[in-house]
Structure 1
Amino acid sequence: MGLNDELIRYCKELTPMEMLYRLTKGNIRGLDLIAVKNLSVKKRMPDDIFNLLLCYFYEEFGSTVYYRNDFGRVYLYWVRKKVYG
């Protein structure tokens, strides 16, 4: 998914779980589900930015085997750097 009007609309309109479903075409791994649920409820960044992070992460790492905490590390980095504000 490239950065385009449709992606921007999805980031604004979908919940993080809906975005995860769309990005993985419904093939959600258990660890991904747990990570997204746990981090999205913390509300340390707006949902649209969280969705953008999901897009970035799955574009960069989705086709590879990654360590289960990698998404959380990128999430915390974005929160610390306040990429959303």
Structure 2
Amino acid sequence: MAIFSKNADDVQGDVEAQIAALRKEISKISSSLSDLGSERFDEVRRVAVKQARYAADTAKQNPVATLAIVAGAALLIGLFSRR
């Protein structure tokens, strides 16, 4: 009976070691994904700010066209919201 008990202890120790190794790997993966996500967010934020500045500059240069586009968009939103 002692042989089976020792094998069970060995198996339990192996399983616990594997679980610890998996936890370390998951931690590394989580950290990598977090870094990647923050890099992507920064990139998207930079592009959005650039596009917003471009849109603002274009609106200042062409106020009549901007007013027409805004009026058309408002009209479409109004039409779609009635249905």
On whether the aligned pair clears a TM of 0.5, the verdict is: no
Pairwise TM-score range, normalised by the shorter structure: under 0.3
Normalised by the length of structure 2, the TM-score is 0.24
Normalised by the length of structure 1, the TM-score is 0.24
Higher helix share: 2
More RCO (CA 8 Å, sep 6+)? 1
